[in-house]
């Protein structure tokens, strides 16, 4: 019986390694090469019992991830965001001037140069590098420059989260880009979307505006917040996110989640109320030369209140281009390939 389990384990390991290698998921591969097929074939040739195959799948998955993490411990996707020259683009760490003090940022420029640039504002509790490597890869390949910023109270920002000062952490970078590029786009995720929308309503330069899961308002009890955290964590387990392992081991993918947290003078719920996304969108819509608008929301959002996406869609009818990523959660929508590719293509068309 023991040999049946060992054979089943070997068959699974060989098969999993073959799948990881075929899919190009280097972070989930321990480098078995042709030996993986031999291992799988040898294990199955011994005809392990169905019960043994069923019971060894979970241990085989854990062993596959463990071996791959050890073998690929150097594979850190955030290296793609380090200052310096990379394949296809360069990264510079800068401090962008703003009315209330410098905004820490990464200025990323395609090797061939760019005439259009996009300022990217992250979500609450995140920072400028939060799972941003695939976004950088996609946008620079389309000839777009990027400015990844730290909102006040986040990342390297020296200032706490406060209102109305936080608006300058987008407005200042937008003006900086306007001085250097012919066309300027602004992209905000959740809180970053709320800040960006208010900045544009207040007059920040913008030739194209994209919002990812920006809530019209957001309030939860502590119990509701914990439920949302659990729901969001469970909804990250979806095959569409395996692309993250093309560039990183499980250790580094998990470590990329760690941020410096939030330093605040105003609570996040009160900040959303003050930023007033619906009111800001109404003010932008009334502008003589309103920018084109892209809205992307998650179909399984565990954070936004019920009907939030529909409210934003209705408020921007006849102006905004609305898309729902059906399987995505609030957290995952920003790292879904569907979101990144659709947004990259949209900006590339409008910032030419």
Pinpoint the alpha helices (H) of 127-238: 133-141, 168-178, 191-201, 222-234
pLDDT at 5: 81
Domains in the chain, start-ordered, CATH in brackets? 2-72 (no CATH), 78-350 (3.40.50.1820)
Got the DSSP string for 299-347? TT-SSSPTTHHHHHHHHTTTTEEEEEETT--TTGGGG-HHHHHHHHHHH
pLDDT at 123: 95
pLDDT at 4: 80
Task: Work out the end-to-end distance of the chain between its first and last CA atoms, rounded to an integer number of angstroms.
Answer: 65
Give the span between the Cα atoms of 7 and 64, in whole angstroms. Answer: 15
pLDDT of residue 1 exceeding 70 = no
**pLDDT tens readout for residues 87-108:** 999 999 999 999 999 999 999 9
Got the DSSP string for 259-291? -----BSS-HHHHHHHH-HHHHHHHHHTSTTPP
pLDDT of residue 43 exceeding 60 = yes
* Percentage of residues of the chain with pLDDT beyond 70: 99
Whether 67 contacts 250, CB under 8 Å? no
Under the banding of pLDDT at 50, 70 and 90, the label for residue 338 is: very high
Whether 122 contacts 103, CB under 8 Å? no
pLDDT at 283: 97
Q: DSSP 3-state assignment of 248?
A: coil
Q: What average pLDDT score do residues 289-315 get?
A: 94
**pLDDT tens readout for residues 170-221:** 999 999 999 999 999 999 999 999 999 999 999 999 999 999 999 999 988 8
pLDDT at 216: 95
Q: What average pLDDT score do residues 127-147 get?
A: 97
């Amino acid at each position: 019986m023991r040999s049946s389990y060992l054979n089943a384990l070997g068959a699974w390991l060989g098969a999993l390694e073959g799948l990881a290698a075929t899919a190009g998921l280097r972070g989930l591969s321990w480098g078995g090469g042709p030996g993986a097929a031999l291992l799988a074939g040898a294990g199955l040739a011994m005809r392990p019992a169905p019960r043994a195959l069923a019971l060894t799948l979970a241990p085989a998955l854990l062993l596959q991830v463990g071996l791959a993490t050890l073998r690929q411990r150097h594979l850190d996707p955030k290296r793609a965001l380090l200052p310096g020259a990379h394949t296809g683009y360069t990264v510079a760490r800068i401090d962008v001037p703003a009315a209330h003090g410098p905004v820490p940022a990464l200025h990323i420029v395609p090797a061939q140069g760019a005439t259009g640039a996009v300022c990217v504002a992250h979500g609450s509790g995140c920072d400028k590098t939060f799972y941003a490597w695939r976004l950088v890869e996609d946008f620079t390949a389309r000839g777009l420059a990027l400015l990844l910023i730290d909102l006040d109270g986040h990342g390297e920002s020296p200032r706490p989260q406060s209102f109305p000062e936080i608006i300058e952490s987008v407005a200042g970078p937008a003006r900086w880009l306007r001085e250097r590029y012919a066309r300027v786009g602004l992209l905000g995720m959740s809180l970053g979307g709320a800040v960006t929308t208010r900045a544009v309503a207040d007059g920040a330069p913008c030739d194209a505006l994209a919002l990812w899961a920006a809530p019209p308002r957001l309030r939860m009890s502590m119990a509701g917040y914990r439920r949302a955290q659990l729901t969001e964590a469970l909804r990250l387990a979806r095959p569409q996110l395996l692309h993250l392992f093309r560039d990183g081991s499980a250790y580094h993918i998990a470590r990329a989640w760690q941020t410096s947290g939030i330093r605040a003078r105003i609570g996040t719920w009160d900040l959303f109320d003050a930023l007033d996304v619906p009111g800001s969108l109404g003010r932008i819509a009334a502008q003589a030369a309103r920018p084109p608008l892209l809205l992307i929301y998650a179909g399984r959002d565990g954070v936004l209140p019920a009907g939030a996406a529909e409210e934003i869609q209705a408020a921007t009818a006849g102006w905004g281009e609305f898309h729902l990523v059906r399987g995505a959660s609030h957290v995952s929508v920003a790292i879904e390939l569907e979101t990144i590719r659709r947004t990259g293509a949209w900006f590339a068309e409008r910032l030419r």
